[in-house]
Structure formats: structure tokens, C-alpha cells
Amino acid sequence: MARPPCCGKLNVRRGLWTADEDAKILAHVAKHGTGNWTVVPKKAGLQRCGKSCRLRWTNYLSPDLKHDNFTPQEEEMIIRLHAAIGSR
């Protein structure tokens, strides 16, 4: 049996995130922390799916992310590992 959808597809915003939406999710996570992502859009006042909020946080907004370029050591390691095991 399939899992029910996390949100009704009606009234769910798609596409690019705005700065206002980013600010709302940042404020919500700062106050409540990460937890059940299916309730985050409702509590944060967003018209997004919980999965979309989770991916936005994980891939763009999390303070643990490193947004700089690779260091020469990291670049060398990537090249060495790619030569050893390929692109899998």
C-alpha cells in the first residue's frame, strides 16, 4: 500500500524560492530546530511541501554547508579517488 501524500498538491507553491521564504524557514528552524519536516511549512507559514522545505534546508540554508571553493588538497583527493574508483 502506498504512503499518503505529505501535502495536498493544491495551493502548493513550486519553483524558485524567494528571500522571504528563506527567511521564514531560517527563523522557524532557529526557533524550533529541525524535526518533522511535514509540519514545518504549516508552522512556518509557507505554501510549500515538507520535502521541498527539507531539501532547501539541507542543500542551501544549513549553516553546516561549506560554500567556498575546493582547497588544493580537496581537489587533489577528488582527482585521486576518481582515478581509483571512477565516478560511481
Q: What is the pLDDT of residue 88?
A: 76
Q: Which residues contact 20 (CB under 8 A, 6 or more apart)?
A: none
Instruction: Locate the domains of the chain by residue range.
Output: 19-85
User: Which residue, among 61, 51, 62, has the nearest Cα to 21 in the 3D structure?
Assistant: 61
* pLDDT at residue 77 tops 90: yes
pLDDT tens per residue across span 3-61 = 776 666 667 888 899 999 999 999 999 999 888 898 899 899 999 999 999 999 999 99
CATH class, 19-85 region:
mainly alpha
pLDDT band at 71 (very low <50, low <70, confident <90, very high): very high
d(CA 43, CA 75): 41
State the DSSP code for 65. Answer: -
